[in-house]
Amino acid sequence: MSNIETEFHNAMVNLYRKAKEECNYDGRYFIQMVAEIGGVSTARKLLATSTPSEGFIKLWECGRLNLTSEALMLEPRFRRLFTEDERKQAIDRLRKYGYAI
């Protein structure tokens, strides 16, 4: 893993911790995926679904879409890890649920 991939991976772990602490969401499946396939691959896998994950919906209900992998993908420091199409998908999903980009 490159330094930026490691940084993204660690940021995904931090999303899990914050979601648990701030929204009482225990995303066991999410953190298991991150541990098994890494943060970048997890973000891509979650984005590739036609519907948002359970965790995305829980965070939307909590008013914390900023804690989603989609939002993390769009941070300037992580842009180069994802294709333009992946970033567009993330933006579209977030906007659909009322998140201001």
- Is residue 28 domain-resident? yes
Q: Letter for the amino acid at 30?
A: F
Residue 85, both tokens? 């199409």
The reported pLDDT for the residue numbered 101 is 85
In a domain, 43, yes or no: yes
Model pLDDT, residue 1? 78
- Enter the tokens of residue 17: 């911790």
Split into its structural domains, the chain has a count of 1
Domain holding 84, by residue range, is 3-96
- pLDDT tens for 23-38 read 999 999 999 999 999 9
45 and 37 in contact (C-beta within 8 Å)? yes
pLDDT for 19 equals: 96
> Is 101 within a domain?
no
- Give the C-alpha separation, 1 to 47, whole Å: 21
Q: Is residue 50 a part of any domain in this protein?
A: yes
- pLDDT tens per residue, range 62-96: 999 999 999 999 999 999 999 999 999 999 999 99
